[in-house]
């Protein structure tokens, strides 16, 4: 295996289908929400009944423009829709409305850690319906499939990359970064498992130093990042073995089977001419004015890469910053927290430490927890002012996550504020020294480490509330007497 990687280079290009977050379909007014009764979201247009006409959903175009701008693409001033013909039972019209030679977004790139991955194009199209393979458990005991057309006509943006990736890791990072961008600009929820983001992976191999690309296989049905990496690694070896044995890789579409951990041939890959593309006669060409693009540009939120830089500039480590940015809900919450003037580093430590651990345990998101931004900020303020200790703050935040109780009243009620007056701490220190003569003797005999013992005892006595600086000072003072 290792020698295959020494001998052959893999070449990967990805086609990512992103389901756009619209209320209605791309060419019809029926809804496209997931999880409805089969065939309940199917207008005459979706069913492809004779005489119906598609009407383009402007919101989809807005989202395509926004995505194009985020991917550094050129937005075409003029583009058109085309019919892509093929026969399949989940495609009622017998063709899919897509964009062929004049896509809305052209060129661009997505940055990954060591390089830029080129974007060839991004185009708008409609999704097909879904076949439910009911197997052999049907009423007549025979095999059959059911057709659910709810998904038909759901808006998709197909984002095609250049064959610029050279390892499964690069492919993974590309999809992760692309997904992040789509989520931050709020055009797609990026859920691979539910299929609202789907990645088809094209992979070929070639000898190192060879200029031409090898013949690619296209792998479909990849529904997690783990599957993406496994499918690529599997496919690399499969192709390398074919070449080693003097064979030739054939251009085809293959399906990834997550249980088997293998790809298998699904069908020979069609070439574009097989689809008999021609311009969609029922839709006007789409003209996108400079004003339209400017308007969308002005709505562009902060992109993940910019957020990462900003977090680093306010004192977060590269690692912390990227962990936050990769969890969008957390990052957006953190941004709200920052607005209340909290210390960035302390806030991120709490968020990624105690809070994240609790959320993971409870399997909920930050927005579903009872920890409001303002209450969190209050707690951090109490810590900053020295009213409560760090350890107390850590345990309080768990209480608040559970109950949503107000930080101030919780500290008051539980009597948790730091004890900072000498007259309260001194008697405690004196009592501890008096009741531990052996430790005192050992300390005075040179066992410096025992200092921590006295601190520990005093903290135990005060339930962690003693002001640490004051406590250290008093213990030293009393021991040195
Ligand atoms: P199709 O619709 O036929 O799959 P596209 O142009 O939409 O064609 O997508 C082709 C994808 O395959 C692109 O992501 C491209 O980067 C990638 N690709 C093309 N040639 C190769 C190759 N030899 N090896 C790996 N990937 C390739
Ligand atoms: Mg394609």
pLDDT for the residue numbered 274: 85
Residues less than 5 Å from ion ligand 2, measured at CB: 15
pLDDT for the residue numbered 469: 85
Average pLDDT over residues 387-401: 91
Find the 18 Cα to ligand 2 centroid distance in Å.
13
- Residues 378, 408: contact at Cβ < 8 Å? yes
Q: What is the rounded distance in angstroms from the CA atom of residue 216 to the CA atom of residue 59?
A: 35
Question: Which pLDDT band holds residue 132 (cuts at 50, 70, 90)?
Answer: confident
Ligand (nearest to CA of 121):
1
Average pLDDT over residues 416-430: 86
Find the 217 Cα to ligand 2 centroid distance in Å.
12
| pLDDT of 96 above 90 | yes
Find the 12 Cα to ligand 1 centroid distance in Å.
8
| pLDDT of 29 above 70 | yes
The HSE-up count of residue 370 (CA atoms within 13 Å, CB side) is 13
Find the 158 Cα to ligand 2 centroid distance in Å.
8
- 105-114, 411-420, 462-471: range with lowest mean pLDDT: 411-420
pLDDT for the residue numbered 1: 52
- Residues 345, 315: contact at Cβ < 8 Å? yes
Q: What is the rounded distance in angstroms from the CA atom of residue 29 to the CA atom of residue 388?
A: 56
| pLDDT of 302 above 70 | yes
Find the 13 Cα to ligand 1 centroid distance in Å.
6
- Residues 184, 328: contact at Cβ < 8 Å? yes
What CATH code would you report for 422-479?
1.10.10.410
- 209-218, 374-383, 457-466: range with lowest mean pLDDT: 457-466
| pLDDT of 82 above 60 | yes
The fraction of the chain above a pLDDT of 90, given in percent, is: 81
Residue of 163, 175, 273 with the most ligand 1 atoms within 8 Å of its CB, for mutation: 163
Find the 393 Cα to ligand 2 centroid distance in Å.
53
Ligand (nearest to CA of 174):
1
What residue ranges of the chain are covered by domains with CATH 1.10.10.410? 422-479
Residue of 82, 198, 202 with the most ligand 1 atoms within 8 Å of its CB, for mutation: 202
- The pLDDT tens digits for 428-439 are 999 999 999 999
Q: β-strand 8-19 against 197-207: which pairing, if any?
A: antiparallel
pLDDT for the residue numbered 139: 54
pLDDT for the residue numbered 327: 94
**Segment of 32-36, 110-114, 152-156 carrying the highest mean pLDDT:** 152-156
Closest atom of ligand 1 relative to the 271 alpha carbon: 3
Find the 331 Cα to ligand 1 centroid distance in Å.
34
Q: What is the rounded distance in angstroms from the CA atom of residue 270 to the CA atom of residue 384?
A: 64
Ligand (nearest to CA of 214):
1
pLDDT for the residue numbered 296: 98
pTM > 0.85 = yes
pLDDT for the residue numbered 137: 57
| pLDDT of 138 above 80 | no
pLDDT for the residue numbered 136: 60
Ligand (nearest to CA of 13):
1
Q: What is the rounded distance in angstroms from the CA atom of residue 206 to the CA atom of residue 10?
A: 7
Alpha helices in 300-446, H assignment, sequence order: 304-313, 318-325, 328-339, 344-350, 356-362, 373-384, 390-403, 407-414, 422-435, 437-444
Closest atom of ligand 1 relative to the 213 alpha carbon: 23
Closest atom of ligand 1 relative to the 161 alpha carbon: 14
Find the 162 Cα to ligand 1 centroid distance in Å.
7
Residue nearest to atom 5 of ligand 1 (CA): 160
Q: What is the rounded distance in angstroms from the CA atom of residue 356 to the CA atom of residue 330?
A: 9
- 196-205, 234-243, 343-352, 455-464: range with lowest mean pLDDT: 455-464
Q: What is the rounded distance in angstroms from the CA atom of residue 280 to the CA atom of residue 295?
A: 28
Average pLDDT over residues 90-97: 95
Ligand (nearest to CA of 211):
1
- The pLDDT tens digits for 218-238 are 999 899 999 999 999 999 999
Ligand 1 environment, Cβ below 6 A: 11-15, 160-163, 202-204, 213-214, 216, 218
Question: Which pLDDT band holds residue 338 (cuts at 50, 70, 90)?
Answer: very high
- Residues 252, 268: contact at Cβ < 8 Å? yes
Q: What is the mean pLDDT of the chain?
A: 93
Residue nearest to atom 22 of ligand 1 (CA): 216
- The pLDDT tens digits for 279-293 are 999 999 999 999 999
Question: Which pLDDT band holds residue 387 (cuts at 50, 70, 90)?
Answer: confident
pLDDT for the residue numbered 118: 98
pLDDT for the residue numbered 133: 78
């Amino acid at each position: 295996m290792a020698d295959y990687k020494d001998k052959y280079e893999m070449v990967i290009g990805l086609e990512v289908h992103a389901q756009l977050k619209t209320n209605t379909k791309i060419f019809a007014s029926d809804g496209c929400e997931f999880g409805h009764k089969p065939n309940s979201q199917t207008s005459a247009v979706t069913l492809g009944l004779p005489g119906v006409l598609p009407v383009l959903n402007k919101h989809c175009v807005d989202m395509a423009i926004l995505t194009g701008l985020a991917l550094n693409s050129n937005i075409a001033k003029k583009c058109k829709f085309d019919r892509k013909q093929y026969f399949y039972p989940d495609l009622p019209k017998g063709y899919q409305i897509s964009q062929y030679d004049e896509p809305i977004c052209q060129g661009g790139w997505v940055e990954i850690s060591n390089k830029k991955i080129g974007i060839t194009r991004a185009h708008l199209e409609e999704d097909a319906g879904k076949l439910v393979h009911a197997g052999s458990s049907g009423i007549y005991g025979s095999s059959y499939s059911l057709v659910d057309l709810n998904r038909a006509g759901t808006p998709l943006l197909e984002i095609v990359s250049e064959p610029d990736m050279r390892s499964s890791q690069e492919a993974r990072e590309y999809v992760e970064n692309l997904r992040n961008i789509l989520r931050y600009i709020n055009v797609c929820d990026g859920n691979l498992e539910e299929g609202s983001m789907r990645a088809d992976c094209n992979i070929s191999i070639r000898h190192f130093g060879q200029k031409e690309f090898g013949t690619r296989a296209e792998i479909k049905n990849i529904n997690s990042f783990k599957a993406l990496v496994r499918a690529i690694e599997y496919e690399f070896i499969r192709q390398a073995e074919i070449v080693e044995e003097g064979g030739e890789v054939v251009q085809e579409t293959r399906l990834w089977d997550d249980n088997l951990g293998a790809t298998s041939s699904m069908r020979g890959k069609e070439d574009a001419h097989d689809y008999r593309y021609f311009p969609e006669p029922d839709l006007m060409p789409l003209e996108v004015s400079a004003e339209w693009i400017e308007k969308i540009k002005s709505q562009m939120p902060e992109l993940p890469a910019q957020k990462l830089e900003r977090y680093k500039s306010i004192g977060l480590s590269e690692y912390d910053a990227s962990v936050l940015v990769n969890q969008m809900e957390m990052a957006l919450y953190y941004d709200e927290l920052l607005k209340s003037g909290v210390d960035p580093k302390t806030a991120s430590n709490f968020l990624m430490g105690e809070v994240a651990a609790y959320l993971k345990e409870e399997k909920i998101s930050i927005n579903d927890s009872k920890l409001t931004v303002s209450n969190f900020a209050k707690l951090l303020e109490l810590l900053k002012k020295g009213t409560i200790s760090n350890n107390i703050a850590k345990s309080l935040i768990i209480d608040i996550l559970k109950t949503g109780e107000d930080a101030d009243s919780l500290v008051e009620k539980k009597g948790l504020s730091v004890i900072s007056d000498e007259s309260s701490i001194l008697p405690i220190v004196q009592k501890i020294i008096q009741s531990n003569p052996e430790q005192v003797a050992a300390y005075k005999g040179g066992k410096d480490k025992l200092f921590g013992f006295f601190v520990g005892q005093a903290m135990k006595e005060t339930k962690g509330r003693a002001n640490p600086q004051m406590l250290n000072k008093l213990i030293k003072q009393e021991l040195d007497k």
